[in-house]
Amino acid sequence: MSTVLELKAVQRHYDQGEEHLAILADADFSLSSGEMVALVAPSGAGKSTLLHLAGLLERPNAGDVVLNGRACGALGDDERTAIRRNEVGFVYQFHHLLPEFTALENVMMPQMVRGLDRTEAARRAAQLLDYMRVGSRAQHRPSELSGGEQQRVAIARAVANAPSLLLADEPTGNLDPDTAVYVFEALEALVRQSGLAALIATHNHDLAARMDRRVTLSGGKIVPL
């Protein structure tokens, strides 16, 4: 397995007036291809901040984020955007699908932004929707889909550009328990078969226990749970 993500002595803090809020303090972490890691921590502990740093949506105050061997801390905004588009997939608690487009079109979008032609983007989107077991719903808009279907479409969209890293922030948090398990199993199968590296923030301890390992945030560090 190759190392996909490394956080090296990462620091992240926010200054609000006279208040200094430290989220990460010399935090180290690594994630390998084909590995699923659960990030379990209370609300407000900094899970979303960690995911944003890992996905190059935020910059650390110190330290570096390394993706596939490339140090990203000193890169310009255009380079970071290109890496996000090509190498990182995001899944959130709420699907954030574009309501005016069909499921197929939603999965086509990131591919066309990357420069793929419409025919090839549609072919690949259809394959991904079939893989996520929502192929029969390809021509339906998000409002016509169930919560579990919406989230499976969102996962298909997240991996449409074949990223090496998948970051998920409470991907089953808005679903009932049975649907949450169903969506997780689809996500797990995708990670195992594609070799993705996946960091998944979750409050669901049953699902966390099914991943390769669990980590939490404590004292600004990323530590085993």
Query: What confidence tens digit (pLDDT) does each residue in 100-113 have?
Result: 999 999 999 999 99
Instruction: Give CA–CA dist 182/194, Å, rounded.
Output: 19
Query: What confidence tens digit (pLDDT) does each residue in 168-210 have?
Result: 998 888 888 888 888 889 889 888 888 999 999 998 899 999 9
Instruction: Give CA–CA dist 106/99, Å, rounded.
Output: 9
How many of the other CB atoms lie within 10 Å of CB of 68?
A: 16
User: Does the predicted TM-score (pTM) go above 0.85?
Assistant: yes
Query: What confidence tens digit (pLDDT) does each residue in 29-83 have?
Result: 999 999 999 999 887 788 999 999 999 999 999 999 999 999 998 899 999 999 9
CATH topology of domain 35-61+74-224: Rossmann fold (3.40.50)
Q: What contacts 24+ positions apart, CB below 8 Å, involve 206-213?
A: 207/38, 207/172, 207/180, 207/181, 208/38, 208/40, 209/38, 210/184, 211/36, 211/37, 211/38, 212/35, 212/36, 212/37, 213/35, 213/37, 213/38
Query: What confidence tens digit (pLDDT) does each residue in 84-137 have?
Result: 989 999 998 777 899 999 999 999 999 999 899 999 999 999 999 998 889 999
Instruction: Give CA–CA dist 140/31, Å, rounded.
Output: 36
Q: What contacts 24+ positions apart, CB below 8 Å, involve 28-31?
A: 28/221, 28/222, 29/5, 29/215, 29/222, 30/3, 30/5, 30/6, 31/3, 31/4, 31/5, 31/6, 31/165, 31/197, 31/198, 31/199
Strand partners, 44: none
